[in-house]
Amino acid sequence: MTQTAAAAGRADAYSIPLDKINVADPALFRDDTVWPYFERLRKEDPIHYCKESQYGPYWSVTKFKDIMSVDTNHKVFSAEARDGGITILDNNAAVSLPMFIAMDPPKHDVQRKAVSPIFAQENLAKLEGLIRQRTQNALDALPIGETFNWVERVSINLTTQMLATLFGFPFEERTKLTRWSDIATCELGTFGIETEEQRIKEFQECGAYMSRLFNERAKADPQPDLLSMLAHSESTRNMTPEEFMGNMVLLVVGGNDTTRNSMSGGVLALNQYPEEYRKLCANPALIPSMVSEIIRWQTPLSHIRRTALQDFELGGKQIKKGDKVVMWYASGNRDEEAIENANQFIIDRANPRQHLSFGFGIHRCVGNRLAEMQLRVLWEEALKRWPKPGQIEVVGEPQRYFSPLMRGFEALPVRINA
Ligand code: HEM
């Protein structure tokens, strides 16, 4: 965004009546102009009610501490699909499927437990070698001195490979996973998806494909991949077809779009903050803390939604049973009361993991260590090849998603300078 556009965006955010603010407008995310709106809500109305929006009425929770209190109170704030699910859009046919991110206890807990072992440290350590090798191959294939789309050549490429590994998915068919991930969460009218029927129709292919793999794994000896784990676990081997589909969508989207957009967001952030880029090159030991900062800075899932199961007072506001409550992680991560200089990208923060991007409470991201490892390996390998500040240069405007959910990029033009 140019400085003039930023100034105009700020003027709008502060001049319109408070009750007309709709921070879920996807255009605010596409144009990256949402920040002054969040800033105003945090200051003037941190628990804000939007009466009219393309997603119906909803509450916005914008401050770090309030988001934590909603996210850790699952008895009042439900994630259940039948109550409305976890995104601001109620009727997204893919995300409304039963999946454990959209379940309350006790069902949530048993299904989460079934897949957790794959994300345990010792299993991740086993995967690191393969991730590194694939990262090296992807980086070695990049052109030098020519403009290319980092999103496609690096971020999508690497996360798709990773998903194929996690699912034990046929490697040569792995781009199917990217397609399923894209269409699960996109706004209608993007990615060639015009209607919910069309979305679900494409998903039937995913369901049929994954069911076939699941049945094959169920008959074979247990393997350390997600499908095999689900097929052999007491709590998940008899899932209904809808639950199976739902959990496939969850794992495909969870592992793909989020990490992908952090891979792109990091390159952009380093280019916007050249001093941080210099710090990184002078001291690559900062990579792990930079990875956490990238995830905070990017906040690839801008929000997660809950539904109130009872009337409840939050920050002096009366939330009614059945109301839609949106936790804006993107805003909480820029809350100056919780994070010092929250609007700056700083790669050597004292508490870099203190952010909301992975959520909190019982649904806290189960794949968070895997995502951090993928990003750490990417930056270790990138710096080995291109150790000078500014060598990975953003050479044009990023193209961002038209979405209040996935905060990410369709394209990021980059040139690697020799
Ligand atoms: C849950 C973010 C990477 C799988 C979540 C939640 C968030 C999130 C915000 C919901 C938290 C809540 O409701 O409180 C992210 C970000 C990632 C990332 C920012 C990368 C930077 C991954 C990866 C996987 C994954 C790599 C696995 C392949 C999941 C699953 C859940 C989840 C299965 C549901 C957990 C539950 O409901 O218990 N993630 N995620 N995520 N994530 Fe991630």
Q: What is the pLDDT of residue 10?
A: 65
User: What b-and-e string marks burial along 30-43, b requiring 16 or more CB atoms within 10 Å of the CB?
Assistant: beebbbbbbbbbbe
The answer for residues whose C-beta is within 8 angstroms of residue 403's C-beta and 6 or more apart is 26, 29, 30, 185, 186, 187, 190
Q: How far is CA 331 from CA 102, 179, 405, in A?
A: 22, 29, 13
Report the nearest-CA residue for atom 43 of ligand 1. 365
Evaluate whether residue 221 is within a structural domain: no
The answer for residues whose C-beta is within 8 angstroms of residue 52's C-beta and 6 or more apart is 22
Does 18 score more than 90 pLDDT?
A: yes
Is residue 413 within a helix (H) or strand (E), and if so which, with residue range?
strand 413-416
Q: How many helices, marked H, and strands, marked E, lie in the chain?
A: 16, 12
DSSP 40-73: HHHHH-SEEEE---TT-SEEEE-SHHHHHHHHT-
Q: Which residues pair with 78 in a beta bridge?
A: 307
Evaluate whether residue 16 is within a structural domain: yes
Q: In what order do the strands lie in the sheet with 58-61?
A: 47-50, 58-61, 324-328, 303-308, 77-78
Which residue from 262, 356, 358 has its CB within 8 A of the most atoms of ligand 1, so it is best to mutate?
A: 358
Does 361 score more than 60 pLDDT?
A: yes
Query: What is the number of the ligand 1 atom nearest to the C-alpha of 299?
Result: 19
> 146 is in which domain, residue-wise?
3-150+258-416
301 Cα: distance to centroid of ligand 1 (angstroms): 9
In whole angstroms, what separates CA 146 from the centre of its chain? 29
Select from 154, 128, 149 the least CA-distant residue to 139. 154
Query: Beta strand 58-61 with 303-308: parallel, antiparallel or unpaired?
Result: unpaired
Evaluate whether residue 14 is within a structural domain: yes
Quickly count: other Cβ atoms within 10 Å of residue 22's Cβ: 19
Evaluate whether residue 13 is within a structural domain: yes
Evaluate whether residue 201 is within a structural domain: no
Report the nearest-CA residue for atom 15 of ligand 1. 358
Question: Which residues form the pocket of ligand 1, taking CB atoms under 6 Å from any ligand atom?
Answer: 71, 100-101, 112, 166, 250-251, 254-255, 258-259, 262, 295, 300-301, 304, 357-361, 363-367, 370-371
Query: What confidence tens digit (pLDDT) does each residue in 91-147 have?
Result: 666 666 778 888 899 989 988 887 787 788 888 887 888 889 989 999 999 999 999
Query: What confidence tens digit (pLDDT) does each residue in 4-15 have?
Result: 555 556 668 999
In the three-class reduction of DSSP (H, G, I as helix; E, B as strand; rest coil), residue 174 is classed as coil
Tokens at residue 110, please? Answer: 């048993």
Evaluate whether residue 205 is within a structural domain: no
Evaluate whether residue 297 is within a structural domain: yes
Tokens at residue 71, please? Answer: 């996210």
User: Residue 8: what are its φ and ψ, rounded to 5°?
Assistant: -65, -40
pLDDT band, very low/low/confident/very high, at 228 (cuts 50, 70, 90): confident
Q: 415 with 147: CB under 8 angstroms? A: yes
Q: What is the mean pLDDT of residues 220-231?
A: 85
Report the nearest-CA residue for atom 31 of ligand 1. 365
Q: What is the mean pLDDT of residues 307-318?
A: 97
Tokens at residue 400, please? Answer: 């961002």
| Percentage with pLDDT > 90 across the chain | 67
Q: What is the pLDDT of residue 277?
A: 98
Evaluate whether residue 23 is within a structural domain: yes
Select from 248, 301, 309, 316 the least CA-distant residue to 97. 248
Question: Cα(185)–Cα(168) distance, rounded to whole angstroms?
Answer: 23
**The domain that contains 139 carries what CATH number?**
1.10.630.10
Sign, CA torsion 321/322/328/329: positive
Query: What confidence tens digit (pLDDT) does each residue in 292-305 have?
Result: 999 999 999 999 99
In the three-class reduction of DSSP (H, G, I as helix; E, B as strand; rest coil), residue 380 is classed as helix
Q: What is the pLDDT of residue 235?
A: 76
Total domains in the chain come to 1
Tokens at residue 338, please? Answer: 């919780």
In the three-class reduction of DSSP (H, G, I as helix; E, B as strand; rest coil), residue 312 is classed as strand
Q: Which residues pair with 59 in a beta bridge?
A: 49, 325
| Percentage with pLDDT > 70 across the chain | 96
